[in-house]
Structure 1
């Protein structure tokens, strides 16, 4: 079945005016896309599985997309091992009440994916009894894949690229854009930004602290009691009698015994 036919068929089975069919990108690899309201989420997945023309018996993956004020898109991809076609189902939940029905009873393989999506985006899956931490430690606070989540490592460490985002090859003319996950100046952190910190997080709060100045060459601490290396023209010094035993020099080796002496070999 063509991708367009897969989408139309699923919309007919859902029988909801809010359901919309479409086609994804990818040219020859395009998939049917169907957007359904949250109340019909489980019904849409069950219809895709049980209908003989669709027969999407393989659960591929489930995740979410943060659409900021518009809410979250919960997305899943199903595949038919019989008819060799796929369908991408989506539903949008509000940000303040991010919850949708669990589909573990329809596709048991969705259990792991719903746990990860709940942990990373904070979306609840009603009916899933095992939404416990999966990838993060239990004491972790927040949901790292939400766009408002501050990536502290981007604040504490400079952008790894050769140039900051927004800087052209010519080196001027365009205002630099903050890297993803870095808050605006004064929105994060408790250490005042020192003067001349490169403009990252300038303000009374937040930003990357400047690196400490290097010590001048004459201001380094003494090395201590470590022995100094002799100069190139100085003769090597022999160890003191109290030092560890040294290997004898080449000319100080004892002579080999003559044949026939005690301990010698014939």
Structure 2
């Protein structure tokens, strides 16, 4: 089925519900998008799964989009393994009461998707029963993917900002704000930076940890070699013998120098 046929089929199955179908995507990949009211969310997912012509039996992903004053768009993508076509179901919930029915009973794999959407956007999925944190710690406050959520990076560095004071007309420069749980510079042995530089404890520019001086062990005096003793004419000591009892270089017997043959002399 073409994306247009998939969208029309879903609208027919949901009649008399007011559902609208459209096609999104480019020439390489086009898919049907059907918008349904929140009250018909679970019915639309069930109809798309159970209809023989659609056969949308695989849940690809579920998430949400923050539309600010208009609320949140809950988006679900289904795929048909047999017919190789997809469907994007979408519904909009109000911002003051973002609640929609859970589809875990239709697709058990949606459990993690709904838990993530709940903690990131604050949307409740009625009937889920276990909307506990999935990615964030239990003591985390707020919903990070909401557009009104203040990013920590904007607190540590104004946006737009500058790397150094005076480099931007906005009067940038890093503010001396430490992340939660990071001790003060004087508590963990950092060297404070001069006045006017970046705040201490904010990265490579915020001071370097004080490293203790490394002490190298003193080297033992090396005994004199046999070659040096031979040059000085002194005999090597008894405890300075070579390995395995072999004589040192100065103890090797020496003989008269070897005479080189005279190239001008003829053979006798």
TM-score by length of 2: 0.66
> Is the Cα–Cα contact under 8 Å of residues 36 and 89 in structure 2 kept in the other structure?
yes
Q: Take 1:201 and 1:18, find their aligned partners in 2: how far apart are those partners?
A: 53
Shift of 1:15: 1.1
Q: Take 2:72 and 2:122, find their aligned partners in 1: how far apart are those partners?
A: 10
Deviations 1:190-230 (A, max 9, x none): xxxxx96956588xxxx94278435xxxxxxxx9x979xxx
Q: Which residue of 2 aligns with 1:209?
A: 175
Q: Which residue of 2 aligns with 1:30?
A: 30
> Is the Cα–Cα contact under 8 Å of residues 197 and 208 in structure 1 kept in the other structure?
no
Q: How does 1:1-266 map to 2 (within 5 A)?
A: 1-157=1-157, 198=168, 208-209=174-175, 212-213=195-196, 245-248=220-223, 255=236, 264-265=245-246
Q: Take 2:77 and 2:117, find their aligned partners in 1: how far apart are those partners?
A: 14
Off by >4 Å, runs of 4+ in structure 1: 195-202, 248-254
Aligned to 1:130, the other structure's residue is in SS state: coil
Task: Tell me: CA distance 1:199–1:110, structure 2 relative to 1, closer, same or farther (3 Å).
Answer: farther
Shift of 1:27: 1.8
Q: Take 1:27 and 1:8, find their aligned partners in 2: how far apart are those partners?
A: 20
TM-score by length of 1: 0.66
Q: Please say which structure displays the higher CA radius of gyration.
A: 2
Task: Tell me: CA distance 1:197–1:124, structure 2 relative to 1, closer, same or farther (3 Å).
Answer: farther
Shift of 1:83: 0.8
Q: Take 2:33 and 2:132, find their aligned partners in 1: how far apart are those partners?
A: 30
Q: Which moved more, 1:23-32 or 1:102-111?
A: 23-32
Where structure 1 has 5 or more consecutive residues not aligned to the other structure, the ranges are 165-177, 179-194, 215-222, 228-242
Q: Which residue of 1 aligns with 2:200?
A: none
Where structure 2 has 5 or more consecutive residues not aligned to the other structure, the ranges are 177-192, 198-209, 230-234, 248-268
